[in-house]
Amino acid sequence: MKRFPIRLFIFALAAAFGVNAHAAIFTVGSGVSCTHGNIQAAINAANSSGTTSIIRLSRSLTYEPEAVAINTGLDLTIEGGYATCDQTTADTTNTIVSGAGGAHAPVFDITAPAGASIHMRRLQISGGDVDNAGTGGGIRFVGDGTLELVDCLITQNKAGSGAGIYAEGTGSHTELIIGANTVIGNNTAAYSGGGVMSRGVELSMVDAGSNILLNKALGTGGSGGYGGGLYIYAYDRPSYAYIGSGSGLFGALYSNTALYGGGVAIVSAGSDAAQLQLFATNATYQAALIGNSASERGGGIYVSSSQASARLWNAVLDGNAAPNGAAAYMASGSGLYVNFAGLPPSAVPCAAGVDCGRISNNTANTDTNPGAIVYGESGTTVQFGYLSTAAPADARGGVLIQNNEAGSVFGGGGYTRIYRSVIGSNTTSSDVIQQSGNTLDIYDSTIAGNAIGGGSAIIRATNSAVSVNRTILWQPGSTSMSRSGGSLTVVRSDASENASMGGGVVIQTFDPLFIDPAHGDYGLRAGSGAIDYAPALAGNERDALSRTRDIDLPNIDNPGTRDIGALERPALQPLVLNADFDNSDLRLWTKFDGAWDGTENIVGATNSGSWKYSNASPTATDVVVGEQCIVLPVPGTYSLNGWGKGGGSTFNNRDYAVLKWEVRKNTLPTCAGGVVASGQMTLGGGTSWGHPSQPAVIDLPEAQFGDQISIKLLLVAHQGNTTTANGISAWFDGITLDYTGDRIFADGFE
């Protein structure tokens, strides 16, 4: 696999150690120290000097219209940001160089043979207007050297292709470096490459603050239309692009439009590779393509030909749109690979416990025949995640594919591999996955909680070899598999409907007890039968959130050590969910009364909140304000506790926060069965938070435990005075239910 170019780091070292300290300096603009009256004259002088040169452009002069030609093999820097020629220190205000009103030519037309290094700093390059047959409205860069841009804005340029920047390599050393704080936006290509067209070049955009946004590739007359933001094109030389986290919230490519590949198009027209590598370079922000659109295919990414591929690590495709392939479309034998291999050298790995890649909020929703979020034509490869037996040393998680709207989430007939991924909370008018021909592998994944079109299946396969391994398919009311021809292999999986999957011992049906599917959390509650259901696998395994796999939870009486589905439960705790009431909607509790109070809390971070009930005229002295049902994972002894306080400052008028509990049987997952034991404890009363020194002990014998024993917790506001005239107020926080070990006693509830 092609690696990230080292020349970036050489430039950084050169800047740090002052390589240009003895450069020839030329100045253009206004002031007594100006050496030249225009940019072209200064460039000609620098070229004649035969040495490393710096051209400083003061912003006090209007550079318009400009059509500057650079043909040099030297190290040349052109930088703005100087108030006048007399200044030796630049500020943060860019110098504007515009081609408006001039010839139909690039603002900068650069020819750079091998060894040449052109650096541009603090420039706004705009107004370039090249006719539809031409390339490079803002910058046209051709050669075997290097062009680097830092703190630049390339905007409002037009050309046939490469409206913002057109870069073409003539040898094996050509590099285009889009450095820090450089924005390429609002450029329009009549054909392809609205922001940038990179042909036979190594392009890198990995520094902070850079973005390609709001560019267009029109595809005039039905020609071109590839790459609204970026067009990576290989014909007689390979072409690579390395894209990092970009500008943070807006990602790396934002709101670009095209016919094919609104964000980026990757096309090889010959035998040379065309490749995108998209990876996080910032621990806070993932690499992202956000809000791009295509009128034909590939809202975020379009890839075409057997030599073309898109390779993503810790990356996000969010809010993109197209009739088909809203997030990504693969054509003609190309490939899309997400979190499939070891990280590139400059990539930042995702942290354990957060998603390592996301396909979200993309839309392929047309009035007729809506397409897929990810579509691969026959002969293509689509791979999310990696096989455990081939896990690289720095392997990370899978992909969360959520909140998309389309005909299907995956479609087409490519070789589709879905490993350690969550496909949940999507809306499809048809089947979640449609596979026609070739192979479909789904391993260690979760498909659940999707809104599926009537009569549709989770998976519909035609003449395809389908393998489902250690996977949860949970869509009650829908058929799991609709298959015509091909083969089906199922191993240790769980489905809401299993007859279509082969039934019997190869696939089970038990409620996986997801933590919070309403908010997209398809992790497993402690009482889930999916925990420790499959045997451990060798390798550097991670789940979809990059957490260690094969954690054998204590006392879980299941046959293996690996949880099935995409998400491994890392520990038995927490049994009580949202126990500290850190969410203002009080999620994961059934709420009857009261509200979240962000001003009162005793556990968690300051202002993390608590549950408050207050009523000046209650109808009873005891008010149940909320409850939670907890399906217990194992028999044994449990201890229950929490924090509470009430209103009233004297013994006669104080209120109390009370925690009640009920042990119920045969209740999966709603706690609706018969009560076999119950109790209550006062958490606190009066205006100060209280926490009982001794927890309530709940002992569950194995003989009475079964598979569906649960505890219902009830939060009760209690009026200490026997009258309700003074009202009731109570607060709750930090509810805990701990498993303390095997039973000591052999009979009954103690």
Kindly write down the DSSP assignment for every residue of 642-686, as one continuous string. Answer: EEEEES-SSTTT-EEEEEEEEEESS-TTT--S-EEEEEEEEEEES
How many domains would you assign to the chain?
Answer: 4
Residues 596, 623: one domain? yes
What is the bridge-based pairing of β-strands 421-424 and 399-402?
Answer: parallel
Q: What is the largest CA-CA distance in the chain?
A: 99
Q: Is residue 666 part of a domain?
A: yes
d(CA 421, CA 412): 19
Residues 197, 69: one domain? no
**Tell me, what's the pLDDT at 540?**
73
Q: What letter does residue 694 receive in the DSSP assignment?
A: S
Residues 65, 191: one domain? no
Residues 40, 155: one domain? no
Q: Is residue 286 part of a domain?
A: yes
Residues 544, 602: one domain? no
Q: What is the CATH number of the domain that holds 695?
A: 2.60.120.260
**Tell me, what's the pLDDT at 12?**
43
**Tell me, what's the pLDDT at 1?**
44
**Tell me, what's the pLDDT at 721?**
73
Q: Is residue 121 part of a domain?
A: no
Residues 539, 676: one domain? no
3-state helix, strand, coil in the chain (%, to 5): 5, 45, 50
Helix (H) or strand (E) holding 409: strand 408-412
CB neighbour list of residue 97: distance below 8 Å, 6 or more residues apart: 39, 57, 63, 64, 66, 68, 80, 107, 108, 123, 124, 125, 126
Q: Is residue 282 part of a domain?
A: yes
**Tell me, what's the pLDDT at 57?**
98
Residues 545, 653: one domain? no
- Six token digits for residue 686: 């009066």
The β-bridge partners of 57 are: 28
Residues 325, 189: one domain? yes
Q: Is residue 201 part of a domain?
A: yes
d(CA 303, CA 334): 6
Contact 471, 442 (CB under 8 A): yes
Q: Is residue 519 part of a domain?
A: no
**Tell me, what's the pLDDT at 390?**
67
Going 290 to 294 to 295 to 297, the CA torsion angle's sign is negative
3-state secondary structure of 738: strand
Q: Is residue 236 part of a domain?
A: yes
Supply angle C-alpha 714, 715, 717, rounded to 5: 135
d(CA 254, CA 351): 25
CB-count burial class (<10 Å; 0-12, 13-18, 19+) for 67: middle
d(CA 42, CA 46): 6
Residues 558, 654: one domain? no
- Residue type present at position 103: A
**Tell me, what's the pLDDT at 749?**
35
Q: What letter does residue 171 receive in the DSSP assignment?
A: S
Helices (H), 85-135: none
Q: Is residue 62 part of a domain?
A: yes
Given 504, 539, 571, the domain boundary residue is 571
d(CA 62, CA 563): 66
Residues 546, 601: one domain? no
**Tell me, what's the pLDDT at 140?**
98
Q: What letter does residue 12 receive in the DSSP assignment?
A: H
**Tell me, what's the pLDDT at 533?**
95
Overall pTM > 0.85:
yes
DSSP assignment string, 25-92:
EEEESSSTT--BSSHHHHHHHHHHHTS-EEEEEETTS-B-S--EEEE-SSEEEEEEEESSTT-SS--S
Residues 279, 355: one domain? yes
* Residue among 174, 171, 165 at smallest CA distance from 192: 165
3-state secondary structure of 220: helix
**Tell me, what's the pLDDT at 6?**
43
**Tell me, what's the pLDDT at 509?**
87
- Residue type present at position 147: L
Residues 268, 416: one domain? yes
Given 87, 116, 131, the domain boundary residue is 87
What averages of pLDDT result for each successive group of 10 residues across the chain (750 residues)?
Answer: 46 44 91 96 97 96 95 97 95 96 96 97 98 96 98 98 98 97 98 98 98 98 98 97 94 98 98 98 96 98 98 97 98 96 90 93 87 98 85 79 98 97 97 97 97 95 97 97 96 95 78 96 95 89 91 88 96 96 95 96 93 92 96 92 90 89 85 92 94 95 79 95 76 96 44
Given 377, 406, 429, the domain boundary residue is 429
d(CA 597, CA 295): 47
What domain range includes position 532? 528-571
Contact 144, 176 (CB under 8 A): no
